[in-house]
Structure 1
């Protein structure tokens, strides 16, 4: 019997923790305004002073709890944004690092995008090099429907395009660089 009561209690607390910030704002505003009205002339005029005085402890608890949950939602939101920006920066750094160390076949694939200004090219999905470039987010598959068999359209990541356009020497053959 106690486990049933504990599960209901845990469920109730869990529901409050998962509550949307818009409801938490409403609870915080209602309880905060109620606490302020209890000591003001307006609260007395509206006839709310006695009710507010009776439930002041509960209103205070609701105000503090909703405020704390709102602050935690805000901190989590900031954390999510910062985490995304940091991960994106690390991924772009890894991508640029890899673009500086391309093999000849990878150069041949990427050269088509940059030198011929192609937005999309057809590549085989089962090609290991294409899969690696996709894994590094240098390329991305632009459609899930093949052009026939194992051939799909691929696009170049905008960050990679900008970097390779500025550094076209990275796409030249080793023989061309010697002359």
Structure 2
């Protein structure tokens, strides 16, 4: 990102925020991979190479049953760190039900993305989530996405395959996976079908 495009007053705080959140994401990734007894240093480096941030503003909508802030989806990358204001809206799907994620000012929400599901051959699931608008109050969040580089090829590791757990995903270049995801509307976890073995 060309930080010269930012207003001077925002440049230094933004760079500090990006660096600190990037370090946090790298640490979270390292713990995930260490917990799986994998090469945590290598994999955390790979899965946090690409950093993207979005600031989301959701205006109030009195007819919230007719619109989403963001449609149901899973994130295409590896890890998402989400910082929210105090307004509810984020929901995750668990067992077919939508569960509210209550906002906390002192914490990030960590969500596993599709690349971790692919890498673990489905052992760790990416988080399907959506955002509902609030009837009367606007909502703001900052989403920090971490992923492999576009040329990195991600596929299941042999450790996660056996006779009882056959290969579920093929290895694909992350850039191709990303482009496929952005070429169509968000629709649950459907982008995983791009890598799935039928």
TM-score interval, normalised by the smaller of the two chains: under 0.3
The one of the two structures with greater contact order (alpha-carbon pairs below 8 A, sep at least 6) is 2
**Structure with the higher fraction of residues in helix conformation:** 1
* Pair member with larger Rg: 1
**Structure with the higher fraction of residues in strand conformation:** 2
Task: Please report the TM-score for the alignment, with normalisation by the length of structure 1.
Answer: 0.25
Task: Please report the TM-score for the alignment, with normalisation by the length of structure 2.
Answer: 0.23
